Amino acid sequence: MSAEIYVTGSSGVLGCEILDHLTAIAGGKRIVTGVARRGLPGGRQALAQIVTPEVLCPDWLKAGDRTATIVHCAGLASPRVPFDDFADLSRREIEPQIAFAEALAARGWAGHLVYVSSAGVYGDSDDLPIPEAAPMQPKSFYALQKMAVEQGLVWLANRHGFRLTILRLANAYGSPLAGPRYGVVNILLDALETGAPFKLFGTGESLRDYIHVSDFCRAVERVCTLPLPDRITTLNIGTGQGTSLARLVALVQEVTGRPLTLQREPLASEVKSSVLGIDRAKALLGWAPTVGIDEGLRRTVAALG
């Protein structure tokens, strides 16, 4: 296994958290380097990073790093980015991602690509928790892009023989780097801070799987350091536990001791629940989430000051 680990998109929230965690646990045994278009956020500047406008053009990869591990976080960061149609999505987001992997293989790289995907690829499901074998039925451009890139990477991994691990991530929260619009937890905390009303659509009883960023980083650590039995592996990374938005609203008020201003809005049809099955990740990685939603919210509030 190569001593080199690269984290693309390391100036983003998840990329930076992964870079920080892997650097801290490496202990000099591995060299961990971020790759991003921008510098690292405040407090993380001491981490090693390559700043380049062309993250998806792997000229930054050293010639000798043929077996390096690449944790790939660079790409579409927000599900709210608009697209005209599938052709627009493909041209702007899917094709550059696939071209990146093709360029790596063309350079002779044959290491381990860890692709951070999304639980959103499953779409609506009646069977909970959702296993990795469940059909992919994306309902947004963001999730559609994740699915398409996953499929392209699997094809390329089979063609060129590199290792590929796909991580279908639940709703990560808890990073102090996250802005006020980064996920529902931060949106709730921002509403508390500003006094703005929080819109609660429908009953708020559908379930979502929320994983603290520290548990996610530990899972990535295991993926990068363990010899997984299969060359191509797909893993759900969540908690296996569902929390309703109504419960999340109540927990935020309980943890902070402050009331939220709620604005209830009708919803034509309630969105179905999404909770990930994580038995496979537990078995292969010897990993399990340790931070429950109550403790995770306390840590998040404390980290944000």
Helix (H) or strand (E) holding 115: strand 112-118
Residue ranges and CATH numbers for the domains of the chain are 4-173+211-240+276-290 (3.40.50.720)
Question: Which segments of the chain have a pLDDT < 50?
Answer: 1
Check residue 269 and give its pLDDT.
60
| DSSP summary character for residue 9 | T
The widest CA-to-CA distance across the chain, in whole angstroms, is 58
- What is the pTM for the complete model shown? 0.95
How many residues would you count in the chain? 305
Check residue 234 and give its pLDDT.
98
Residue in the structure block whose two tokens are 């493909």: 90
Check residue 175 and give its pLDDT.
95
Task: Report residue 304: phi and psi, to 5°.
Answer: -85, -5
Helices 141-160 & 95-106 angle (0-180, nearest 10): 20
Check residue 266 and give its pLDDT.
79
Strands 207-208 and 243-244: antiparallel
| DSSP summary character for residue 215 | H
Check residue 236 and give its pLDDT.
98
